[in-house]
């Protein structure tokens, strides 16, 4: 009978164990390469912010009104665990007043009190980029292309890019009004849940996946009918840029996204293998008013965040981006008490090799088993004979190195020649 431990992770929170944790780190490294190759610098910002920072996103979104982890700290400040990083980055921009355009990338954990399910967690990780201080449709294209390139670097093939524009704030306001009037005129046909959404945020009714709403949503007014000349030109330039870069996309007029700060371009990368409720691998858009809402001067902003957890699920489904090897290079087996293993592993590690060993002075057989499990290519064996002679037995462990007989191919090497011997063998 297995006993249930007294303490376990809270719902929607997970321990990421090796080797999966190595994959998480690699994910961020690949993203950093993509972002830094385009001139983006990393920002590390706190997990906690003044609650007000996130309230400025707008309280019409569930992320702000229902899902925030917030508390009053010992100094009486009302604090929140960050549910996303765009608002934090805008807060940092106002606080530090950096040179524009400010091109930054980030990675880290976000917290949202959501109903946990596959691909939806209460603590999840994002990588993202933001640019503040440049209102150029080419920048929207650059950003969308960087996300696209990143998915390609992971090996994902089934990612779809969905694109929309919400126009200028005035266009959006007129559209919201028209949408509200339209749904109100057809209230009887609308699902009870969408009627509640309509009260708070008519745009979000377009997100409804309920069959009862499908026909009404399909026939709803389209945002494109409300674009100003400038908004239409911006959107056309974004589409032309993506076409020029050979990035395929679908314009989806119903794409409004969950956060409320978007203007002009919005986009989402959707995974081909995930359940439709959780298929957004990442998304973003323009948020030209957010810096101002946080007390700064009017400043253009555009960026995206990509969900790490969900993207890795998509990688599993597509069989790409396997965990990198965390195996050591060599494993030291010492049957003389352990002091040799201590000295030898330290020497090897200083020389830049990945080296592990067994502990507790176990038998030769038990230590060789541990060496096998470690994934090391080579075992270095020190018994009393070797200790006396100042030598080490170098034994290849992988079948492909020595054929089927793992005993063969071993050599006895003087301790003084060990490093140069290993360098030769391992290359």
Binding site for ligand HAM (CB under 6 A): 84, 86, 112, 114, 120-121, 124, 126, 128, 130, 258-259, 280-285, 287, 303-305, 307, 309-310
Q: Are 381 and 393 in contact (CB under 8 A)?
A: yes
Query: Between residues 31 and 287, which has the closer beta carbon with respect to ligand HAM?
Result: 287
- Choose between 53 and 259: whose C-beta lies nearer to ligand HAM: 259
Q: How far apart are the C-alpha atoms of 125 and 142, rounded to whole Å?
A: 23
Minimum distance between the CB of residue 233 and ligand HAM, rounded to whole angstroms? 21
**Of residues 91 and 415, the one with the C-beta less far from ligand HAM:** 91
Q: If you search the block for the tokens 């990083």, which residue do you land on?
A: 85
Question: Cβ neighbours of residue 158 under 8 Å, at least 6 residues apart?
Answer: 271, 272, 273, 314, 318
Alpha-carbon distance 266 to 302, whole Å? Answer: 9
CA distance 245 to 142: 10
How are beta strands 411-414 and 391-396 bridged, if at all? antiparallel
Choose between 288 and 309: whose C-beta lies nearer to ligand HAM.
309
Nearest approach in angstroms of CB 201 to ligand HAM is: 15
Distances in whole angstroms, Cα of residue 199 to Cα of each of 114, 146, 176 = 21, 37, 12
DSSP structural state of residue 118 = T
The verdict on whether omega for the bond into residue 101 sits within 30 degrees of 0, i.e. cis, is yes
Contacts for 188 with CB less than 8 Å, ≥ 6 apart: none
Reported as type and span, the H/E element at residue 205 is helix 202-205
Its sign, for the CA torsion 237, 241, 244, 250, is negative
How far, in Å, CA of 165 to CA of 227, rounded? 9
| CB contact at 8 A, 262 and 286 | yes
Q: Which is nearer to ligand HAM, 221 or 296 (CB)?
A: 296
**Half-sphere exposure of residue 56, counting CA atoms within 13 Å on the CB side?**
21
- Cβ-closest position to ligand HAM: 307
* Least distance in angstroms from the C-beta of 126 to ligand HAM: 5
Residues near 214 by beta carbon (within 8 Å), at least 6 away in sequence: none
Dist CA 83 CA 301 (whole Å): 19
What's the min distance (Å) between Cβ of 309 and ligand HAM? 5
Q: Please give the structure tokens belonging to residue 167.
A: 């126009």
* Least distance to ligand HAM, CB of residue 284, Å: 4
Instruction: Pick between residue 258 and residue 375 the one whose CB is nearest to ligand HAM.
Output: 258
| Least distance to ligand HAM, CB of residue 278, Å | 8
Alpha carbon 81 to its chain's center: 17
Minimum distance from CB of 135 to ligand HAM (Å)?
15
Sheet holding 330-334, edge to edge: 355-357, 330-334, 378-382, 391-396, 411-414
**Cβ nearer to ligand HAM, comparing 168 with 340:** 168
Please identify, using beta-carbon distances, which residue of 50 and 67 lies nearer to ligand HAM. Answer: 67
Is 320 or 327 the residue whose CB approaches ligand HAM more closely? 320
Pick between residue 84 and residue 171 the one whose CB is nearest to ligand HAM.
Answer: 84
* Residue whose CB is less far from ligand HAM, 301 or 396: 301
CB of 197 to ligand HAM, least distance (A): 17
Quote the least distance from Cβ 186 to ligand HAM, whole Å.
28
What distances in angstroms separate CA 415 from CA 87, 359, 392, 421, one per listed residue?
A: 58, 21, 6, 10
* Shortest separation between residue 162's beta carbon and ligand HAM, angstroms: 11
- Least separation, in Å, of the C-beta of 423 and ligand HAM? 44
Cα-Cα-Cα-Cα dihedral sign, residues 364, 370, 372, 378: negative
């Amino acid at each position: 009978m297995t006993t249930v431990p007294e303490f376990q992770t809270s719902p929607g929170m997970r321990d990421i164990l090796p080797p999966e944790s190595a994959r998480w780190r690699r994910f961020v490294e690949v993203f950093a390469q993509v972002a830094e190759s385009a001139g983006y610098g990393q920002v590390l910002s706190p997990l906690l912010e003044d609650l007000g920072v996130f309230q400025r996103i707008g309280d019409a979104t569930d992320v702000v009104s229902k899902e925030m982890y917030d508390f009053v700290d010992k100094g009486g400040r009302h604090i929140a665990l960050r549910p996303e990083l765009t608002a934090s980055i805008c807060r940092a921009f106002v606080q530090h007043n950096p040179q524009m355009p400010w091109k930054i990338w980030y990675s880290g954990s976000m917290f949202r009190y959501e109903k946990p399910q596959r691909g939806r967690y209460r603590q999840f990780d994002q990588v993202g980029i933001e640019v503040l201080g440049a209102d150029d449709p080419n920048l929207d294209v650059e950003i969308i292309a960087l996300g696209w390139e990143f998915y390609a670097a992971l090996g994902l093939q089934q990612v779809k890019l969905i694109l929309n524009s919400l126009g200028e704030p005035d266009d959006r306001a007129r559209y919201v009004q028209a949408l509200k009037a339209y749904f109100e005129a057809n209230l009887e046909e609308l699902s009870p849940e969408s009627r509640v959404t309509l009260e708070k945020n008519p745009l979000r009714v377009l997100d409804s996946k309920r069959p009862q709403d499908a026909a009404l949503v399909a026939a709803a007014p389209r945002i494109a009918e409300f674009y100003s000349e400038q908004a239409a030109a911006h959107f056309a330039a974004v589409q032309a840029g993506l076409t020029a870069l050979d990035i395929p996309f679908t314009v989806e007029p119903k794409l409004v996204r969950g956060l409320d700060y978007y203007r002009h371009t919005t986009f989402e990368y959707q995974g081909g293998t995930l359940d439709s409720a959780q298929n957004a691998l990442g998304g973003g858009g323009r948020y030209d008013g957010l810096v101002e809402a946080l007390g700064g001067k009017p400043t253009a902003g555009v960026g995206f965040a990509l969900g790490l957890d969900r993207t890795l699920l998509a990688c599993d489904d597509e069989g790409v981006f396997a965990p990198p090897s965390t195996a050591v290079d060599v494993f030291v087996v010492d049957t003389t008490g352990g002091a040799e293993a201590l000295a030898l592993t330290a020497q090897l590690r200083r020389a830049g090799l990945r080296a592990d060993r067994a502990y507790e002075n176990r038998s030769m057989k038990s230590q060789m088993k541990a060496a096998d499990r470690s994934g090391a290519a080579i075992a270095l064996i020190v018994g009393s004979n070797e200790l006396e002679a100042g030598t080490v037995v170098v034994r290849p462990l992988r079948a492909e190195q020595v054929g089927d007989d793992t005993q063969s191919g071993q050599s006895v090497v003087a301790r003084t020649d060990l490093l140069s011997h290993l360098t030769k063998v391992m290359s």
